[in-house]
Copies of this chain bind each other. A is one copy, B any other.
């Protein structure tokens, strides 16, 4: 028996390797190479360093683990299974990548307890990791006391060459270095192979030097395949440096153990196959059958269950002591963890009347954020270098910076994509934080992958997007959204709201905050320019997505449907048409998806099928509007790129005027 010559640690590591190989062979789909090479670092991390409780994966003070190289998902599933999580059984592993299994192709937090974030799109995970570490740093600075520590955990990330090629990882690493997040430890699986073959074909930079340039503490484990002591030593050294994040470059061999495929792209994204698997078993001295894990291994790895229970018990005790001394802080902290909002929180949201001053909705947004910040200490966020354009500063707080982690204003720099993933990481820290990230609406294009992942992975991020149309003005077509709002409305599970005035802005925030606590992201689109406050605008109306703002006597001849800054054009046009004896209804429609969620009766009451003369008015493309205006309706819209000129000029030249709305309305009325 060759097995007898293996140490217990080697048995554990080979168990991980062959669970991956066997599962991927069975499904004939997946990426065995990474788990085979990264099994040692994964094992050392989960066996020797990480604190977690397998029987309570959501225990608050656990270390967070992110597999940024998400295609290596079998590494994580093998670890979850070995360490005793209930979420992944051996049957689940046998069902790898099959319909309904808890072991999808890439790690998905919403499918598999023990998975913290959803990875696969490369680079997202390391940026989520920055968000997780930021959340820890912020909560620690906010709630820990000199004599009582209740927030204290590490965030570990395994990332690969692919992650390191993506721009988002560079953005995230740069800002993490700036912040000096000492409890962030990234293990870079340096296996020199990506899908196209050797990284020599496209990736020859000095990654370690680059991380040093960001201000990271950088280490190198030269033999990540077998030198477990070196991996452990590096992690210890990483933990010893508390004022910088650490990147440990761990040089490994992809597909380690496979005689013919190791160190080739052939083992990156395809099953080993029966023959090569047999050779690999021989080469690694592994006599166990498919999906077989030696008893000694499980006996050892499942100690994590007991260990985890004691970690949690210790923490519970620490928290009880904290609570005895710091009742108010403990109550607030418990509320955060509960996911609940404080009673009456939404009473701070203002409403307006037409007599109130016309302001840009971004200004109303600033007001809402500041009023909410006073009652919701969990509100934390900032802008990608447009703080004073987006108007996202919480004036009662300072800047989140190294040494000032208790502050709530985050300067993300001009790094929209990392901002998105960092916010998602904060949300998925599951500690009750409500993160928000802001930029110009057009630059959602830079962070779209992170916005999509907020929707997919059920992260309650709030996206605060200003300068939401050609009303942006002089910056010109590169900065003016046209198709942007449509492209965002199309994303499943994302609530998009474009409020018309001050009251509707309050309504938008009411939905967004509640959504966040329900693990759902929201995207709010605000104007750069002034908009009047409208009679009839309501917070409740926003929650329904669309509502009748101005109605006619009896069945309308025509329905004008507006959103955001164009609702006031509809109101003005309706007044004129009514004066001319027409029966015109105005529907304010800040959110399509909230409207779609209403009952059929409600929808019919707002947009009766019988009224087919409908005109939408929105300073954006017509794409999608035919669902609401129908085949007999029309749109006031812009289906070309914008232009550089003052915002009012753009609006006028592109037809967003009362006269043009009137003209199109009259054409419909015949």
Chain A positions near chain B (C-beta within 8 angstroms): 27, 29-30, 70-71, 97-101, 104-106, 108, 118-123, 161-163, 165-171, 174-175, 177-178, 194-196, 199, 201-207, 209-210, 212-215, 269, 383, 385-389, 399, 401, 411-418, 442-443, 445-446, 448-449, 452-453, 455-456, 473-479, 482-483, 486-487, 489-493, 609, 612, 621, 623-624, 626-627, 630-631, 639-641, 643-646, 649-650, 653
Contact = CB atoms under 8 A, between A and B. Distances in A.
B492 A118 contact: no
A487 B202 CA distance: 30
Contact of A645 (B97, B118, B645): B97
Contacts of A631: 609, 612, 630-631
A201 B448 CA distance: 25
B418 A167 contact: yes
A207 B209 CA distance: 11
Contacts of A639: 492
A490 B486 CA distance: 7
A120 to B, nearest CB: 4
A639 to B, nearest CB: 6
Contact of A490 (B203, B442, B487): B487
B623 A489 contact: yes
Contacts of A452: 445
A110 B48 CA distance: 60
A226 B546 CA distance: 59
Q: Quick one: copies of this chain in the complex?
A: 2
A474 B387 contact: no
Contacts of A490: 483, 486-487, 490, 621, 623-624
A177 to B, nearest CB: 6
Given A104-B644, A196-B385, 19 more contacts: A97-B644, A97-B646, A105-B479, A106-B475, A106-B644, A161-B414, A163-B414, A165-B174, A166-B446, A170-B171, A174-B205, A196-B386, A199-B413, A201-B399, A213-B213, A445-B449, A482-B492, A492-B640, A626-B626
A256 to B, nearest CB: 21
A627 B415 CA distance: 37
A436 B640 CA distance: 24
A213 B202 contact: no
Nearest to A99: B645
Given A162-B414, A490-B483, A105 B70 contact: no
Given A209-B213, A385-B165, A643 B104 contact: yes
Q: Which of A120, A418, A621 has the most CB of B within 10 A?
A: A120
A475 B120 contact: yes
A646 B411 CA distance: 43
A204 B627 CA distance: 49
Contacts of A204: 177-178, 215
Contact of A453 (B414, B478, B649): B478
Q: Which of A166, A399, A621 has the most CB of B within 10 A?
A: A166
Nearest to A209: B213
A653 B99 contact: yes
Q: Rank and list the top 10 A-B pairs by shortest CB-CB distance, nearest first.
A: A167-B167, A104-B644, A202-B413, A483-B490, A120-B478, A487-B487, A99-B645, A209-B213, A626-B627, A170-B170
17 contacts: A29-B646, A70-B478, A97-B645, A98-B649, A167-B417, A196-B411, A201-B399, A201-B401, A202-B385, A207-B213, A446-B448, A483-B491, A486-B623, A487-B490, A490-B624, A626-B626, A626-B627
A589 to B, nearest CB: 15
A389 B265 CA distance: 12
A621 B494 CA distance: 14
Contacts of A206: 212-213, 215
Q: Which of A71, A205, A207, A645 has the most CB of B within 10 A?
A: A205
B385 A195 contact: yes
B449 A477 contact: no
A401 to B, nearest CB: 7
Contacts of A626: 624, 626-627, 630
Nearest to A172: B167
Nearest to A204: B178
Contacts of A215: 204-206
A166 B483 contact: no
A161 B411 CA distance: 14
Nearest to A410: B202
A441 to B, nearest CB: 13
Nearest to A455: B641
B174 A166 contact: no
Nearest to A127: B167
Nearest to A103: B644
A253 to B, nearest CB: 19
Contacts of A416: 166
Nearest to A494: B483
Contacts of A385: 162, 165, 194-196, 202
Contact of A456 (B119, B210, B478, B630): B478
A110 to B, nearest CB: 10
A305 to B, nearest CB: 28
Contact of A214 (B166, B205, B640): B205
Contacts of A383: 196
Contacts of A414: 122-123, 161-163, 165-166, 194
Contacts of A646: 29, 97-99
A30 B479 CA distance: 13
B415 A27 contact: no
A566 to B, nearest CB: 18
Contact of A170 (B167, B177, B621, B630): B167
A27 B201 CA distance: 49
Contacts of A387: 195-196
Contacts of A483: 487, 490-492
A106 B478 CA distance: 8
A165 B386 CA distance: 14
Nearest to A639: B492
A196 B388 contact: yes
